[in-house]
Chains A and B, each alone.
Chain A
Amino acid sequence: MNREKNKNVSSSLIHFDNVSKVYLGNSVAVENINFTIEPSEFISIVGHSGAGKTTLLKLLLAEEHPSSGNVLFESTIVHDLSKHERTKLRRRIGMVFQDFRLLSHKTAYENIAFAMEAAGREDDEIDVDVPYVLDLVGLRDKIWHFPAELSGGEKQRLAIARAIVNQPDVVIADEPTGNLDPVNTYDVMQILNKINSLGTTVILSTHNKGVVDILENRVVTLKDGRIVSDDESGSYHL
């Protein structure tokens, strides 16, 4: 079932409004992208490498400016935001990357604490919340370990803990299972599902069919920078 475009735009959390992005040399990354994401939704964006998944996420984080169209977060055009407003927006979005992107010279505790410090949280809150989220992802015993001392699955769980510690409105997971074995992939997906069940919107970008099959959530399929399907039942057309 194809989703009706621009449905409930005013109440949507995120709205891609006819967005195109063309890089130098006329390389089209995404073209005429139209879809909305509702609060508490779990949406997967699937497509082969180069389909435009990462570009969409970068546009949402205002890392990139669209060549045309608008990306709206709660009716605010994100690429029109000032640097200060952009920083505030990013505090409402938790990011999980395929390559973890942990701060290598900080311990597990400090990696999570950094996200809280960046959001201006007080030290006593940090002292309480960091052990709590480490507990949630099963890393309490690794609290003083550096990223280099953790396995791939542990690193990704730490990255998720860092993404959720500020209780963001949205968690964006860009190929979070790309570097993980099936067991760790399953664990990570369980955690993302749990986060979503607590009311956080989750946007998952992946080309892993197995992951999408398990989820049975809404799937937007991208091909050559265009949306080829937007399906509530979790089917896709890769």
Chain B
Amino acid sequence: MSFFANSQRIIRAGFNSFWRNKFVTASAILIMTVTLFIMGSLLFISAMLDSSLEQISEKVDINVYFTTDANESNILSLQTALESRDDVAAVEYVTQQEALDNFRSQNRDDDLIIQALEELEDNPLGAYFNIQATDSQYYEDIANYLESDASVVAGSQEIIDRVNYQQNRNAIERLTNIIQSLDTFSFLVIIIFALIAALIVFNTIRLAIFSSRDEISVMELMGASRSYVRGPFVLEGIMYGIVSALITLLLFYPISLWGEASTSTFFGGTGSFTYFVNNFGELFVILMVTGIALGGISSYIAVRKYLDI
């Protein structure tokens, strides 16, 4: 008997059992769909939480203020040095004139300040950098780099008037802690729910196979090999996973569309439908692989219990 013919028989038996055990199939798919839906929803929430935290992170930066007589070529050298660092995401250079224009614009309703500026001959404001780190935890390193003689490009130390990291330090550290805690928390929640979901699916499939335990023993007594007995059950489990993943994806379409406005307002970042559309491929693969693995492995383990006669 060739491997191909044997596989063909196993596939046919798996499909037949899937269609004929309608009640068991429907129950298993229902439970698995609920499970995958919960896991998918956690992915949605986690991704949207990440997006809103990212947005908050982007609003945090440190500023390097230069002396009014700082040489622009030195400032540009420092910008290049900073931009070459892995922990620096962006360096925005605000020139002396831009700093003055910004200041004027911010205080355009304050006649006293505008008048005082008019009376000054020179620009009293220095140029400055707005530096964004790739992660909020790196701000201290960047500040240390700027404050360290040895690490900064030659000559630049004399041009720096002040770095405002120390003033913002508490806020940055608190934000970093909140982001890290939320990341860990959401990761743990996903893991715990995934484990609970896997247990629920495993027990559902085990129950489905429990009802076939006599048939499994008869198949063995008829001289069927273990793989020949197990194959259709494992295939059936995999089919539960595939169908459940497809139903879950179908359910996510209208639900994420319905929640688009409220989620984007609540999380202040990506909305649920935008996330669904932009990450459809990734979601498809995650749900499909999870469904197939849960169904297949659960069936494999459940059948094994009744095989050893």
Contacts and interface: CB of A to CB of B under 8 A. Distances in A.
A104 interface: yes
Interface centre among B20, B222, B228, B309 (most CB of A within 10 A): B222
Interface in A98-117: 101, 103-106, 110, 114-115, 117
Interface centre among A90, A120, A121, A166 (most CB of B within 10 A): A120
A119 B9 CA distance: 13
B150 interface: no
A87 B218 contact: no
Interface residues of B, number: 20
A87 B225 contact: yes
Given A101-B215, A105-B20, A105-B21, A118 B222 contact: yes
B156 interface: no
A106 B218 CA distance: 13
Nearest to B228: A118
Given A105-B16, A105-B21, A122-B1, A90 B220 contact: yes
Interface in B15-60: 16-17, 20-21
A182 to B, nearest CB: 27
Contacts of A162: 222
Contact of A114 (B20, B214, B222, B225): B222
Contacts of B309: 63
Nearest to B214: A101
Contacts of A61: 221
A164 B275 CA distance: 61
A95 B221 contact: yes
B219 interface: yes
A91 interface: yes
B224 interface: yes
Contacts of A105: 16-17, 20-21
B228 A117 contact: yes
Contacts of B219: 103, 114, 118
B104 interface: no
Interface centre among A87, A122, A162 (most CB of B within 10 A): A87
A115 B9 CA distance: 12
Contacts of B16: 105-106, 110
A88 interface: yes
B20 A118 contact: no
A92 B223 CA distance: 8
B5 interface: yes
B169 interface: no
Contacts of A101: 214-215, 218
A120 B21 CA distance: 26
Interface in A153-192: 162, 166
Contacts of A92: 223
B226 interface: yes
A118 B224 contact: yes
Contacts of B214: 101
A90 B5 contact: no
Contacts of B221: 61, 63, 90, 95
Contacts of B17: 105
A204 to B, nearest CB: 17
B229 to A, nearest CB: 8
Nearest to B1: A120
Interface string A75-88: 00000000110011
A133 to B, nearest CB: 14
Contacts of A103: 215, 218-219
Interface of A: 61, 63, 83-84, 87-93, 95, 97, 101, 103-106, 110, 114-115, 117-123, 162, 166
12 contacts: A61-B221, A87-B224, A88-B223, A90-B220, A95-B218, A101-B218, A103-B219, A105-B20, A105-B21, A106-B16, A118-B219, A118-B223
Given A61-B221, A103-B219, A121-B1, 4 more contacts: A63-B221, A84-B225, A105-B16, A123-B5
